[in-house]
């Protein structure tokens, strides 16, 4: 039987991993349902940023450079924005139903207003958080049911009630925090190999042309928090519109299970939000405060 040298075996394994990555890129891992934001990154337009072990540059370097450009653009040019946030998260090992929220965000001081539009059990729920105000607490009320009878209450944003069923506190919501977190993850993962990265200059989020970056860690390691992650950057606005991350499948023939997904749809930058937009006494809101 003919034997193969270790070098040939390594090359074949690398080629197999890259091919597997293109399979995942080829499929639309986002929404295709009516009324949802379609997210697509066609395989034919994807370019591997680093494919060989001999490449001196880490495959994450180009992606990190793009992320820092986005971070700088948001810091210098984005004061506030409104959007419809569509999110889905895995919590306690179970994938939660998709949540849709009308949000207003101001970057300085960091302020958030959220009103849930779906699912039905959360519809009408409102939350406000303003950094440096209200003793660091958020105010919220349920939209329906017995909990709505309790009215508006103040909560620690990192406490068990505010964090129930959530992967992240409200203090980490928004496009600036999303990019900041991804840069931190990228800098951490840069310490290791076993990373493949693809860039797609012809991706789409809804009708918005985007650049997508796909990162894949082929083997589960203690230092990695995802198997596959994709970020979509709006070409015109230079801000992130969509992020999704997947866990490693339990079986080789299974699709990677979704860990988390966030879309900022109908994004409007710098609409001129004021303190009234983050005031629970705003008559357009339903906090019941006077």
Range of the domain at 31: 6-74+175-264
Phi, psi for residue 158 in degrees, rounded to 5: -105, 5
Measuring CA to CA, which residue among 106, 152, 114 is closest to residue 132? 106
Same domain, 220 and 158: no
Q: Does a structural domain hold residue 254?
A: yes
> What is the pLDDT confidence band of residue 216, given thresholds at 50, 70 and 90?
very high
Q: What letters, b where the CB count within 10 A reaches 16 and e where it falls short, cover 218-255?
A: beeeeebebbbbbbbbbeebbbbbbbbbbbeeeeeeee
Beta carbons of 88 and 81 less than 8 angstroms apart: no
Same domain, 55 and 129: no
Would you say the C-alpha torsion 284, 288, 289, 290 has a positive or negative sign?
Answer: positive
Q: Does a structural domain hold residue 184?
A: yes
Q: Does a structural domain hold residue 108?
A: yes
Q: Does a structural domain hold residue 218?
A: yes
Same domain, 98 and 234: no
Q: Does a structural domain hold residue 283?
A: no
pTM value > 0.95: no
For the chain, give the mean pLDDT.
Answer: 85
Average pLDDT over residues 50-77: 83
pLDDT, position 32:
32
Same domain, 95 and 224: no
Which residues are registered as beta bridge partners of 118? 100
Same domain, 65 and 123: no
Same domain, 113 and 250: no
Same domain, 100 and 168: yes
- What phi-psi label fits residue 182: left (phi over 0), alpha (psi between -120 and 50 degrees) or beta? alpha
Domain count, the chain: 2
Same domain, 200 and 247: yes
Average pLDDT over residues 42-67: 68
Q: Does a structural domain hold residue 286?
A: no
Same domain, 166 and 44: no
Measuring CA to CA, which residue among 221, 112, 118, 239 is closest to residue 178? 239
The H helix count followed by the E strand count for the chain is: 3, 14
Instruction: Please say if the pLDDT value at position 24 is more than 60.
Output: no
Q: How many residues does the chain have?
A: 290
Same domain, 169 and 179: no
Same domain, 43 and 182: yes
Instruction: Please say if the pLDDT value at position 49 is more than 70.
Output: no
Q: Does a structural domain hold residue 1?
A: no
Percent of the chain scoring above 70 in pLDDT: 80
């Amino acid at each position: 039987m003919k034997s193969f040298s270790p070098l040939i075996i390594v090359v074949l394994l690398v080629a197999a991993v890259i091919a597997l990555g293109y399979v995942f890129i080829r499929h639309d891992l986002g929404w295709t349902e009516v009324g949802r934001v379609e997210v697509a990154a066609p395989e034919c337009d994807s370019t591997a940023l680093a494919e060989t072990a001999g490449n001196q540059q880490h495959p994450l370097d180009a992606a990190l450079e793009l992320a820092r450009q986005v971070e700088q653009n948001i810091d210098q040019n984005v004061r506030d924005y409104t959007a419809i946030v569509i999110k889905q998260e895995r919590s306690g090992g179970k994938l939660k139903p998709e949540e849709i929220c009308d949000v207003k965000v101001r970057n300085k001081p960091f302020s958030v207003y959220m009103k849930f539009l779906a699912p039905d059990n959360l519809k009408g729920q409102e939350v406000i958080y303003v950094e440096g105000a209200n003793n660091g607490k958020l105010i919220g009320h349920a939209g329906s049911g017995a909990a709505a009878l309790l009215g508006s209450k103040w909560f620690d944003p990192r406490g068990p009630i505010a964090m129930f069923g959530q992967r992240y506190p409200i203090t980490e919501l928004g496009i600036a925090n999303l990019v900041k977190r991804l840069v931190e993850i990228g800098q951490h993962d840069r310490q290791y190999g076993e990373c493949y990265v693809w860039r797609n200059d012809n991706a789409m989020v809804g009708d918005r042309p985007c650049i997508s970056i796909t990162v894949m860690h082929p083997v589960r390691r203690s230092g990695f928090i995802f198997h596959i992650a994709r970020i979509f950057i709006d070409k015109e606005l230079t801000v992130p519109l969509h992020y999704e991350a997947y866990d490693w499948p339990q079986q080789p023939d299974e699709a990677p299970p979704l860990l988390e997904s966030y879309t900022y749809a109908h994004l409007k930058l710098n609409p001129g939000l004021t303190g009234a937009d983050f005031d629970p006494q705003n008559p357009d809101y339903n906090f019941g405060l006077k």
